[in-house]
Structure 1
Amino acid sequence: MGGKITYFFLATVLVLVFGVVAMEGVLLLLTGEPAPMGMGAVAFLLPCVGAWFLWQNTRFARSAQRLARELEAEGGLPANELVRTAGGRIDRDSADEVFARRKAETEDAPADWRTWFRLAVAYHDARDTPRARKAMQRAIALHPSLRLNRRRSRGRG
């Protein structure tokens, strides 16, 4: 629950900053001089781009959370089988072993969103965030009831 509150708080602060930057952009546009008008246009566009990224990230997080809840209800969430050091860090050899199993599982059933979800968790545990995100995006695209992301998955051959 703490993560959701933090995310909501930071997203709210970001939206407020977007508003301030957009207002400054409008004020610069109203000066009538070319250089400030150009800076005002850019200052007005930046919050639009930032809002789009915030929306995409929020949609991704909500979809991933929905998959996690569904997989938990099915009893299919991966068990925490990783060995940890005394300091609480994940042992590299343990993460590699779990990752190898998850990868083989995904190769055996590439059309199952559940295997891609578990592979994303394994990538995350191995601290490979870009691949974890791509695997989670694949899981979301394969899930039959998440229509928001179907458009994107259709475009990829």
Structure 2
Amino acid sequence: MAQSVRTRRTAVAGAATLTGLLALYVWLVAARAIALIGTGKAIGIALGVAFLVLPLVVIWLIVREWMLAIDVQRMADELAAAGELPVDDLPRSPGGRIDRAVAREAFDAVRDVTESAPDDWRSWYHLAFAYDAAGDRRRARESLRTARRLYRGGAPER
């Protein structure tokens, strides 16, 4: 238990550090954009406004990812309390890579459960980790977002 708390704190500290560095970058870009707008020249104003859009998009993406991470952790805590967290017991190569063929076989079983219970956030959470083990990070993220929407009480997308 102490190891998982330590690991979680390290992960959060790393994410917070990266977010802080990104915030510094956003601040510098925004400061330069305002300076360009302050030139009073048409091209400077146009570039300044364009460069201000970038920090706004970055801030939106950061907030979106942090909110997802917080909800995923809440779901993980709830699953852990119920003894339902996904277990990573797939065979690995000596280098630590998951055997993709075995992961795809395990994926099929998890997908079937999700198809039979499309309104259950737990099945979507498990599906996300099955997608990740099978190497499909994009669908893993989509599944986590679906799990989150269901966890918060939203309807699944059909």
TM-score (norm 1): 0.89
1:102 corresponds to 2:110: yes
Q: Give 5+ residue unaligned stretches, structure 2.
A: 1-7
Q: How does 1:75-114 map to 2 (within 5 A)?
A: 75-114=83-122
Task: Find the counterpart in structure 2 of residue 10 from structure 1.
Answer: 18
What is the match of residue 46 of structure 2? Answer: 38
1:67-102 Cα offsets, whole Å, 9 max, x none, are: 111111111112222111122111122101210110
Matches within 5 A, 1:4-153: 4-143=12-151, 146=152, 150=154, 153=155
Tell me the secondary structure at the aligned position of residue 35 of structure 2. Answer: helix
Q: How many residues align?
A: 150
Corresponding letter in the other structure for 2:86: P
Q: Which amino acid aligns with 2:115?
A: E
- What CA distance in whole angstroms lies between the structure 2 residues aligned with 1:41 and 1:87? 48
3-state SS, counterpart of residue 111 of structure 1: coil
Cα displacement string for residues 37-79 of structure 1 (whole angstroms, at most 9, x for unaligned residues): 1111111221011101111111111111111111111111122
Which digits, 9 at most, give the CA deviation of each residue in 1:89-120, with x for residues without a partner? 11122101210110111112111111110000
Task: Return the letter of the residue paired with 1:66.
Answer: R
Indicate the RMSD between aligned Cα atoms, in angstroms: 1.5
Give the match's secondary structure for 1:19. Answer: helix
> Are the equivalent residues in 1 in contact too, given 2:100–2:135 (CA < 8 A)?
no
SS in 1 for 2:70: helix
